A = this chain, B = another copy of it.
């Protein structure tokens, strides 16, 4: 979970001292749950583990009313070094990521042409709508209030979305033009062999 660790260290570094729910709220405000593993269980697990490893320091808990006591954290020098090391690793590393859509594509021969084309066209539509949302966020000024790198992230998501939408449409066109990608519907369901 090196990305999760880096993010938790980074948020603590920027906002310290914080408690778990502060971290959770901050990451949710970035919609980080959509592109990183930062559900509550992962956040609290990482906070405790990083404190156990001396990368974060727990401050005395405080109690507010009858709510659960909340533990605040600050980063240590060791933690700051680890944050920069992990961040640098992640910046320089170029590696594919696990992608459920690629998994589905590997078995495309098992999907009838009608459904395959329809799903690809729908995907292109959803991607284009999402990318349009990023662009109107930019022009509406909402993004203008945010640091420049946030806009750059949206540009990246937009560029990826555009490229994938175009690919979806191109492949749907081929399928609808009769391009054969199954041996036959019968064979695809029984004995054929994918030698990807």
A149/B108 in contact, CB under 8 A: yes
The total of chain A residues at the interface (CB under 8 A) is 81
Residues of B within 8 A of A107 (CB): 6-7, 10, 87
Residues of B within 8 A of A145 (CB): 195
Q: A182: shortest Cβ distance to chain B, in Å? A: 8
Residues of B within 8 A of A66 (CB): none
Smallest CB gap from A97: residue in B: B99
A148/B99 in contact, CB under 8 A: no
Question: How far is B14's CA from A145's CA once the two chains are assembled, in angstroms?
Answer: 53
User: Is A84 at the interface (CB under 8 A from chain B)?
Assistant: yes
A102/B153 in contact, CB under 8 A: yes
Smallest CB gap from A94: residue in B: B126
Tell me the interface secondary structure of chain A in the complex. helix
Smallest CB gap from A156: residue in B: B167
Contact for A29 among B4, B91, B174, B196, CB less than 8 A? B196
Question: How far is B98's CA from A88's CA once the two chains are assembled, in angstroms?
Answer: 18
Question: How far is B151's CA from A167's CA once the two chains are assembled, in angstroms?
Answer: 12
Beyond A36-B106, A153-B196: 12 further Cβ-contacts under 8 Å?
Answer: A3-B100, A14-B191, A14-B194, A32-B103, A32-B196, A91-B115, A98-B98, A105-B152, A108-B152, A155-B167, A156-B164, A160-B164
State the A residues within 8 Å of B (CB). 2-4, 6-7, 10, 13-15, 29-30, 32, 34-37, 83-84, 87-88, 90-111, 115-116, 119, 122-123, 126-127, 130, 145-150, 152-153, 155-157, 159-160, 162-164, 166-167, 170-171, 174, 179-181, 183, 191-196
Could you list 10 A-B pairs, sorted by A, with CB under 8 Å? A14-B192, A14-B194, A87-B111, A88-B111, A105-B149, A147-B195, A147-B196, A150-B195, A150-B196, A163-B163
